[in-house]
Amino acid sequence: SGDPSSCFPPFFYKPSCSCVRSEPVKCENPGTPDFGRRYGSNFLMGSEVVFSCDNGYELIGSSQLQCLETGDWDDACVPRSCGPPPAIDHAEPYETHKLFGDTANYYCTDGYTAGNNSKMVCNAQGVWVPPDGMEAPRCIANFCLRPPELPHAILDSVNKPKYASNIEVSYKCEEGFMLNTTATLRCLMGGEWVPSPYDIGCVPVRCSKPESIDQGYVIGTNYSFGAVVAYSCFKGFLIRGEKRRTCKGNGEWGGALPTCVPVSCSQPPSLKNGYPQHMICPIFRVCQANRQWSNQDPPTCVLLTCDPPPNIVHGHYKGSDFQVGRKVVYVCDEGYELVGDATWTCLKFGRWDKTRPPRCSPVQCPEPPLEENHLVLRGLDSESGTVELSCEDGYVLEGARFLRCTPSQEWNDTFPVCKQVFCGPPPAVPFGGPSRSSHLFPFSSVVTYMCIDGFTLRKEGSVSCLANGQWSSPYPECIPVECPQPVEISDGIVDVQGLMYLSKALYSCKTGYNLVGNSTILCGEKGLWIGGVPSCRPIECSVPKQITNGKVVYTKLQFDHSATYSCNRGYRLQGTKTVRCLASGEWDIEPPACVQISCTPPQPVENGFVEGQDHSYGVTIFYSCFPGFQLVGQDHLTCEEFGWSSSVPVCVPSDCGLPPHIDFGEYVRVTELGGRFTSKDTGRLDLNFLHGTLIEYRCHHGYDLTSQVRLVCQEDGGWNGTAPSCVPAECQIPPSPDHGWMNVTHGSLGTTLTYTCDEGYELKGEPVRQCVSGRVWTTDAPVCQPVSCGDPGAVDNGTTQGGDFVYPEVLHFQCNPGFVLKGSSTIACQADGKWTGLKPQCEPVSCGPPKIPGDITFKGTEFTYNNKIELSCQPGFILNGRSPSICQADGTWSHKAAACVPARCEKPSPILNGRMLGSEFGYSSKIKYECDEGYTLNGDSTRVCQSDGLWDKPSRKSCQKYVDF
């Protein structure tokens, strides 16, 4: 219209009576700050936007900005600072920055190795923390300090202040002490010895309880190393051997076990003018039962005598009269003295007054001076009076080794002397020598050795002077010092040129890293590397150059890290946006440049028009179509950093698109001719539905339309209605079949009937029926028929009773007389179409072998129904019973009881005009016929009774009158 008030902001009125867009004050798109967010998209003058930073960043400037006439925004987000990294024991931190996202690397000092993590990261809260899932950095010692000195223990290893990891050292104990546990320690990473040295102890060696001696005892209760016990004898006994024994370092008592021998006494005084005498008279008698004494002879007394006294070694007795009261005297040979009673007297009972015979012992000499002369009694022969002497350890004997005690109670020679043992100069050791010098080395002296620089002792470090004047072996040995493998360093390489004394190891770094520290270390005289462990630190580039109308972002300036350039809004990056730090400490390429963004002039559109001709950065243009056409694409385009925000749209004829969808149905195109509508199948690939297109809907098989609907595509590109619905066709539900059931399902394809039969029945017909259009079912209803098991067949010699051979019929079987059923008498047809078992069989009844008396025999081997056996008796006997006998249906033989009776013929009939001679008619009996005088016999005159009880000849005999011709 021509009314100026008809335009609304931001439009204004022009005399041409059209509303055109004004150009209000507008700020440039402020964009979103790096590591932050912006809220608000209206950039017109007076509008406000709000900024916030991501977690870990803080906003510099106001968080709320307003679009001013200048159109400038001022905001920036910078990372938080964490300050200096925390101190770690035995480590030095190295960091390039202290802001959020920066990493501090820790390098361990000499003798220490980094654990699983050597980094700390500055987090969003401004605190240094280890990376996710890792522990704080720690430096682990790769050596152990020398184990402590323990009481009475000696460290059996090279004397060094430090030992590398995995090295083992051992303790040994001084003489007289023993270990209470394992002596070997292992140095673990972290500087700890395992097991702890303080768990190791040297305890004094303890001897077992000393042996006891007969007729003596032990003095002393201390049985530890070096302790001394003394032996003493009971009253009346003298000790022989060493009185004292010392507990040695091996837990054994030194010296030999002494013995206690009886003290020897002189011969007792004899009894003068007297002797015992006794007569034994058997004067007793016993009064017996016969009133007589047991012995009628008068008793007599006889003089008693003693048995001869026992003989003694190295002596004899004097006297040969052994009567009661008489005495004998024992005397010893020269050089021996009597121990015991010398005079024996025969008592009145005929026994000697002594029972233990005396003995002759060698004459005793003075006891040898053992202790003061360091002598040891090694042996004693009491019979010969000979002793064997030796010296204590560390002394050597000079003089007689064996001494004999003479009858004059003096030793046959002077006592020997024990002189102390000395060793000569200590043995020479290459590359080393004894720690002290001396000329005299008495027994048990210990000389300790030391090696020159660069050499260390192997195992034994000292020698001892032995009792034989020789030095103990093996001798000490000085071997070259060997250093452990040098420590590996991160991002570095170590070249080991040897592990012996004065050998070198050279350190170098990988590309992009500089060596901090000594590049060469030397194996020192104590087996440790001299020079410390260096570290490899990344090479750093200088801060990248800034670019006009752009900025650069980076996290680290170290080797192989990159910096990324970006441009301000309205500018485009020209060149590579990323530069990388090289191993030389220089950036790989020059930084890019930012050039102002400008889009191509707007393109015209066919069957439409474009509004706006400005194509500078941030400008938006609008596209529209003429009536009857639709816009395909974006109706507005904005000039952005990389060109227009989208491609130019196109104007196409209005198309309604696909018709509304119908479930379980479809649409077809129709045309109108003379007021009638006919369907037109143009194929599913024709997807153009332009203005005026008509469609109709149809349902799938089994569904019906709720209403007949015809839609048309209108001018505005829309359809004039919605699609109808296809609902399942409904049929009347039939009854369930006999011996079965029916499952009704109302699904997406309509109502479905699924038939199933009971167990033992099978379906005849289609198992599934479906309700289709017209409310009819697709097929006739099926029926459930019983499962057939089939004819099992007839049973021989039997009958079968039952109906059809289908489930669940039962067949009954029965055998004919004389037969018995083997198997089940019934079988049933099961649901799986199988009989419960096999049909039975009819087997003949068995009568078994016949039970008959022993004098009856039979012929036949078949004993089943209808079979026969022949019974017979011995000759002269006849069977009383039936033969043959038949096996009957009841399992018994037909002969019942049978017996053999003696055969006897019937008494022959008398003969006319004659007579029969004989009265016995049994088996083999004979009779004889004779005729009267004047008559003659017709036939044989003799008949014999046979075994079957019949006469051997017929009885047709007669006496005929004799006729003389």
pLDDT digits (tens, 9 = 90+) for 370-388: 777 778 877 777 677 788 8
Is 246 part of a structural domain of the chain? Answer: yes
Using the predicted structure, report yes or no on whether residue 18 has a pLDDT greater than 50.
no
pLDDT digits (tens, 9 = 90+) for 549-558: 899 998 888 8
pLDDT, position 562: 92
The number of folded domains in the chain is 8
Is 212 part of a structural domain of the chain? Answer: yes
Residues with Cβ within 8 Å of residue 924, at least 6 apart in sequence: 876, 944, 945
Which residue has tokens 């039997």? 798
pLDDT, position 412: 82
Determine what percent of the chain falls in helix, strand and coil, rounding each to the nearest 5: 0, 45, 55
806 and 782 both lie in a single domain: no
Which residue has tokens 């501090």? 104
Residues 297-310: b if buried by 16+ CB within 10 A, e if exposed: eeeeeeebebeebe
What's the chain's average pLDDT?
A: 82
pLDDT, position 815: 92
Residue % of the chain over a pLDDT of 90: 11
Residues 762-771: b if buried by 16+ CB within 10 A, e if exposed: beeeeeebbb
End-of-domain residue from the set 264, 285, 306? 264
CB atoms within 10 A of CB 530: 15
670 and 724 both lie in a single domain: yes
Using the predicted structure, report yes or no on whether residue 22 has a pLDDT greater than 90.
no
Longest dimension (CA), the chain: 207
Using the predicted structure, report yes or no on whether residue 157 has a pLDDT greater than 80.
no
Residues 23-38: b if buried by 16+ CB within 10 A, e if exposed: eeeebebbeebebbeb
Name the token pair of 55.
């977690």
186 and 223 both lie in a single domain: no
Q: Nearest CA to 206 among 185, 169, 168, 180?
A: 180
End-of-domain residue from the set 431, 456, 480? 480
For residues 632 and 607, give the distance between their C-alpha atoms in angstroms, rounded to a whole number: 12
Q: ∠ at Cα 581 (580, 584), nearest 5°?
A: 140
72 and 2 both lie in a single domain: yes
pLDDT digits (tens, 9 = 90+) for 645-689: 888 998 887 778 888 988 888 888 888 765 566 666 544 567 788
Highest averaged pLDDT of the listed ranges 370-384, 502-516, 699-713: 502-516
Q: State mean pLDDT over 599-623.
A: 87
Higher-scoring residue by pLDDT: 112, 217: 217
Is 67 part of a structural domain of the chain? Answer: yes
1 and 62 both lie in a single domain: yes
Is 865 part of a structural domain of the chain? Answer: no
Tell me phi and psi for residue 921, to 5 degrees.
Answer: -115, 20
pLDDT, position 133: 83
Least confident of 306-320, 393-407, 514-528: 393-407
Name the token pair of 623.
């596209």
Residue % of the chain over a pLDDT of 70: 88
pLDDT, position 38: 81
Using the predicted structure, report yes or no on whether residue 579 has a pLDDT greater than 90.
yes
773 and 703 both lie in a single domain: no
Which residue has tokens 């016993």? 286
Measured CA to CA in angstroms, residue 864 lies from 28, 708, 852, 889, 895 at distances of: 126, 91, 17, 9, 15
Yes or no: say if 488 and 123 are a contact pair by the CB < 8 Å rule.
no
156 and 175 both lie in a single domain: yes
Yes or no: say if 871 and 878 are a contact pair by the CB < 8 Å rule.
no
For residues 400 and 415, give the distance between their C-alpha atoms in angstroms, rounded to a whole number: 7
pLDDT, position 321: 86
Using the predicted structure, report yes or no on whether residue 725 has a pLDDT greater than 60.
yes
Name the token pair of 948.
């079957």
384 — alpha (psi -120 to 50), left (phi > 0) or beta?
Answer: alpha
Is 376 part of a structural domain of the chain? Answer: no
Q: ∠ at Cα 729 (726, 732), nearest 5°?
A: 160
Q: State mean pLDDT over 346-375.
A: 82
pLDDT digits (tens, 9 = 90+) for 830-851: 989 999 988 899 999 988 888 8
200 and 217 both lie in a single domain: no
DSSP β-bridge partners for residue 203? 178
The residue type found at 863 is F
For residues 839 and 837, give the distance between their C-alpha atoms in angstroms, rounded to a whole number: 7
Using the predicted structure, report yes or no on whether residue 578 has a pLDDT greater than 90.
yes
Q: Nearest CA to 826 among 846, 811, 843?
A: 811
3-class DSSP state of 373: helix
The conformation of residue 258, written as its DSSP 8-state character, comes to P
Q: Nearest CA to 339 among 265, 405, 407, 269?
A: 265
Using the predicted structure, report yes or no on whether residue 4 has a pLDDT greater than 50.
no
Using the predicted structure, report yes or no on whether residue 261 has a pLDDT greater than 60.
yes
Higher-scoring residue by pLDDT: 61, 772: 772
Least confident of 9-18, 270-279, 695-704, 815-824: 9-18
240 and 254 both lie in a single domain: yes
Handedness of CA 800, 802, 806, 808 (dihedral sign): negative
Which residue has tokens 């004039």? 720
pLDDT, position 842: 93
Give the 3-state DSSP-derived string for 439-459, with helices as H, strands as E and coil as C: CCEECCCEEEEEECCCEEEEC
755 pLDDT band, cuts 50/70/90, is very high
Residues with Cβ within 8 Å of residue 605, at least 6 apart in sequence: 623, 625, 648, 649, 650, 651
Q: Where are the beta strands (DSSP E) in 768-924?
A: 768-772, 776-777, 783-786, 798-801, 810-815, 819-822, 826-828, 841-844, 856-859, 868-873, 877-880, 885-886, 899-902, 914-917
Q: Nearest CA to 415 among 363, 362, 365, 468?
A: 365
pLDDT, position 960: 85
Counting beta carbons within 10 angstroms of the beta carbon of residue 555, is it exposed (0 to 12), middle (13 to 18) or buried (19 or more)? middle
End-of-domain residue from the set 728, 758, 778? 728
Handedness of CA 868, 873, 877, 880 (dihedral sign): negative
Tell me phi and psi for residue 546, to 5 degrees.
Answer: -80, 150
Strands 636-640 and 643-644 turn out to be: antiparallel
What's 256's domain CATH number?
A: 2.10.70.10
Is 627 part of a structural domain of the chain? Answer: no
Question: Containing domain of residue 910, as a range?
Answer: 903-965
Using the predicted structure, report yes or no on whether residue 563 has a pLDDT greater than 90.
yes
Least confident of 45-54, 196-205, 927-936: 45-54
The residue type found at 879 is L
Residues with Cβ within 8 Å of residue 539, at least 6 apart in sequence: 512, 513, 514, 558, 559, 581, 583, 584, 585
Least confident of 515-524, 800-809, 956-965: 956-965
Is 676 part of a structural domain of the chain? Answer: yes
Using the predicted structure, report yes or no on whether residue 782 has a pLDDT greater than 90.
yes
For residues 679 and 672, give the distance between their C-alpha atoms in angstroms, rounded to a whole number: 9
The DSSP result for 212-231, as a single string, is: P-TTEEEE----BTT-EEEE
The conformation of residue 353, written as its DSSP 8-state character, comes to S
The residue type found at 329 is V
Yes or no: say if 509 and 493 are a contact pair by the CB < 8 Å rule.
yes
774 and 760 both lie in a single domain: yes
Q: What is the dihedral of CA 584, 585, 588, 589, to 10 degrees?
A: -130
Is 762 part of a structural domain of the chain? Answer: yes
704 and 771 both lie in a single domain: no
For residues 151 and 204, give the distance between their C-alpha atoms in angstroms, rounded to a whole number: 11
78 pLDDT band, cuts 50/70/90, is low
153 and 210 both lie in a single domain: no
Yes or no: say if 876 and 902 are a contact pair by the CB < 8 Å rule.
yes
Yes or no: say if 69 and 45 are a contact pair by the CB < 8 Å rule.
yes
pLDDT, position 654: 77
Higher-scoring residue by pLDDT: 99, 847: 847
